[in-house]
Amino acid sequence: MADRDPSTARLPSHVEVGALLRQVQAAGGFAMVLAKGEADSGALLVVLTDQGRRSRAWERMPSPDGHRVWTRVREEVAEDPGDFADWLKRRQHQDPDLWIVELDIPEGERFIR
């Protein structure tokens, strides 16, 4: 068996999601799974919101150095909040293995950085 580089090791998705939910709830926020993806290797999309407003979607994206970094990929537009919900549905349909998790807490970015 080949040695694995610990810097590239990844937690199973369901473990990472569970930890994220517990951290946010312990900090007084609300967290829920909107779409359950593949347990071990499903990608994770995090929707950050503050009291149900200003939804922002974050995903890990490849960076030039080969690592994956959290990147804001979509933001709710106040004039058309339904567009954000429609985009989430399309994104889930494109990748049935995708986990979508919503964190409703001020300054939610602190949980994914």
* Tens digits of residue pLDDT in 5-55: 555 567 899 999 999 999 999 999 999 999 999 999 999 999 999 998 889
Q: What is the mean pLDDT of the chain?
A: 91
Q: Note whether residue 97 is domain-resident.
A: yes
Q: Give the residue numbers spanning the domain of 83.
A: 30-111
Among residues 110, 3, 9, 5, the alpha carbon closest in space to that of 58 is found at: 110
Q: Note whether residue 50 is domain-resident.
A: yes
CATH number at residue 80: 3.40.1530.20
Q: Note whether residue 106 is domain-resident.
A: yes
pTM, two decimal places: 0.87
Q: Note whether residue 62 is domain-resident.
A: yes
Q: Note whether residue 6 is domain-resident.
A: no
User: How many domains are contained in the chain?
Assistant: 1
| Coil vs helix vs strand at 48 | strand
Please give the Cα distance from 23 to 113 (Å, whole number): 13
